[in-house]
């Protein structure tokens, strides 16, 4: 999960959570972007510039006055703030009181699971966390909007009692990379992906090659049978092969090619290595279209520097392009939210702001 949430785990400072609730036109960050503001400073960003400065001022004023009521504020970036984006941004300000802290604590426990966080922006304070089945995990969600879907992202909707609610999907990254090889380039790629929206399974036969400090989004697997982790990868998952052995690279490539549901596949190496692998795969009956989809050499066109950090930056860009395209194409079914503490509700007015 992002820095704003992990930074709150062992910090008892009073703070305000600022969320980009809506964006109309061009804005510095997308809906769902967040930052945590305390009197001593801030964690993360909603885009910088005058908008962020004003948001920090508002949040610190709320802390200074002891204001515990969540609020929604509209900012016209051009006329009022002089920012060249020119759009309109609505920011939700949530003082983290006992109730909201319980919801955020539950969210931290569910880092590897999808959750939906709802906060009332009007009237009595209310905050709730739901799982993918619509089950209430923490807080209270009575009178909250009862339908929303993944593709809508973070937005504001109206509940049964007329109050506005921030609807904030907190989804685990769909992008998954199985990375084979813990050499210099593999380690550089892990560092490059450490703060990006993805999960990485890092596989190598040599346990002593893995660093002691590991990013939160990385899971290591020291194993004598790395091919097993090809079959364990999720459908549509990405693969990157860069081991210490060409023979192992070959075995892993064949295993990946055998999966019809494999996603992007990159193999480190030169054009000569690619030709060698192509001939071997053709000899084993691998379809030409599968071979053509293999990315080798890896990295963005035009970047020739072979330093590990440069390769890692280039491959990270390549993967982000693949993952963002896949995310744009993904659709999800609506989820109906059901409060565990309240009887079934009539369908709410799923109004979306601005109204």
Residue carrying the six token digits 């109309």 = 24
Topology of 176-329 in CATH? Answer: Rossmann fold (3.40.50)
- Of 34-38, 145-149, 243-247, 274-278, the least confident: 145-149
| Residue of 135 and 3 predicted with greater confidence | 135
Q: Which H helix or E strand runs over 91?
A: strand 88-95
Write the DSSP string, 14-68: -EEEEEEEEEES--SS-TT-EEEEETTEEEE-S--HHHHHHHHHHHHHHHHHT--
Half-sphere exposure of 159 (CA within 13 A, CB side): 24
Q: Exposed, middle or buried: residue 208 (CB in 10 Å: 0-12, 13-18, 19+)?
A: exposed
CB contact at 8 A, 265 and 295: yes
Average pLDDT value for residue range 178-193: 97
Write the pLDDT tens digit of every residue in 95-111.
998 778 899 999 988 88
Whole-number average pLDDT of the chain: 87
- Distance CA(206)–CA(261), nearest Å, equals 28
pLDDT of res. 142: 81
Write the pLDDT tens digit of every residue in 292-312.
999 999 999 999 999 999 999
pLDDT of res. 177: 97
Cα 45 to chain centroid distance, Å, stands at 15
Q: Are strands 164-170 and 115-120 parallel, antiparallel or unpaired?
A: antiparallel
Q: Which H helix or E strand runs over 106?
A: helix 98-109
- What is the C-alpha end-to-end distance of the chain, expressed in Å? 32
**What length does the chain have?**
355
Q: Exposed, middle or buried: residue 46 (CB in 10 Å: 0-12, 13-18, 19+)?
A: buried
Instruction: Name 38's bridge partners.
Output: 15, 41
pLDDT of res. 350: 41
- Distance CA(39)–CA(350), nearest Å, equals 36
- Model confidence at 344, pLDDT cuts 50, 70, 90, reads very low
With H, G, I as helix, E, B as strand and everything else as coil, classify residue 292.
helix
CA distances from 317 to 47, 119, 125, 173, 299 (A): 20, 35, 42, 16, 8
- Name the region of 210 (left: φ>0; alpha: ψ -120 to 50; beta: rest): beta
Cα–Cα nearest to 324, from 218, 149, 143, 197: 197
Residue 299 corresponds to which tokens in the numbers above? 């990295």
Whether the pLDDT of residue 236 is over 70: the answer is yes
Question: What residues contact residue 337 under an 8 Å CB cut-off, 6+ apart?
Answer: 116, 118, 130, 134, 141, 144, 145, 146, 147, 148
Write the pLDDT tens digit of every residue in 25-78.
888 899 999 999 999 889 999 987 889 999 999 999 999 999 889 999 999 887
- Distance CA(269)–CA(249), nearest Å, equals 10
- Distance CA(9)–CA(52), nearest Å, equals 23
Q: Which of 77-86, 88-97, 109-118, 311-320 has the highest mean pLDDT?
A: 311-320
Buried-exposed string 130-148: b where 16+ CB fall within 10 A, e elsewhere: bbeebebbbbbbbbbbbeb
Cα–Cα nearest to 191, from 170, 210, 173, 204: 210
The structure's pTM equals 0.77
Residue ranges per structural domain of the chain: 3-172, 176-329
CB contact at 8 A, 32 and 20: yes
């Amino acid at each position: 999960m992002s820095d704003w949430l992990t930074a709150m785990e062992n910090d008892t400072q009073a703070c305000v959570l600022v969320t980009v609730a809506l964006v109309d036109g061009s804005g510095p960050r997308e809906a769902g972007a967040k930052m945590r503001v305390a009197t001593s400073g801030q964690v993360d960003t909603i885009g910088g510039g005058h908008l962020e400065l004003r948001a920090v001022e508002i949040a610190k004023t709320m802390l200074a006055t002891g204001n515990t009521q969540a609020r929604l504020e509209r900012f016209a970036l051009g006329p009022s703030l002089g920012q060249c984006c020119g759009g309109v941004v609505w920011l939700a300000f949530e003082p983290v009181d006992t109730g909201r802290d319980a919801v955020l604590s539950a969210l931290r426990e569910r880092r590897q699971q999808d959750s939906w966080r709802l906060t009332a922006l009007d009237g009595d304070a209310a905050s709730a966390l739901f799982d993918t089945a619509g089950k209430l995990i923490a807080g209270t969600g009575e009178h909250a909007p009862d339908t929303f879907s993944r593709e809508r992202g973070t937005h504001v909707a109206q509940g049964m009692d007329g109050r506005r609610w921030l609807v904030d999907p907190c989804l685990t990254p769909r992008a998954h990379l199985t990375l084979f090889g813990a050499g210099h380039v593999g380690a550089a790629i892990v560092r490059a992906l450490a703060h990006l929206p993805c999960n990485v399974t890092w596989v190598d036969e040599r346990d002593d090659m893995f660093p002691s400090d590991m990013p939160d989004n990385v899971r290591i697997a020291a194993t004598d049978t790395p091919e097993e982790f090809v079959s364990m990868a999720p459908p549509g998952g990405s693969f990157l092969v860069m081991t210490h052995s060409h023979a192992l690279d070959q075995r892993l490539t064949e295993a990946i090619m055998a999966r019809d549901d494999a996603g992007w596949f990159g193999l480190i190496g030169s054009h000569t290595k690619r030709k060698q692998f192509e001939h071997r795969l053709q000899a084993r009956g691998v379809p030409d279209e599968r071979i053509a989809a293999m990315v080798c050499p890896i990295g963005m066109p035009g970047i020739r520097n072979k330093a590990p950090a440069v390769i890692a930056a280039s491959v990270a860009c390549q993967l982000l392009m693949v993952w963002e395209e896949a995310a744009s194409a993904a659709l999800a079914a609506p989820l109906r939210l059901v409060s565990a503490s309240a009887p079934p509700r009539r369908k709410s007015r799923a109004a979306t702001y601005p109204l």
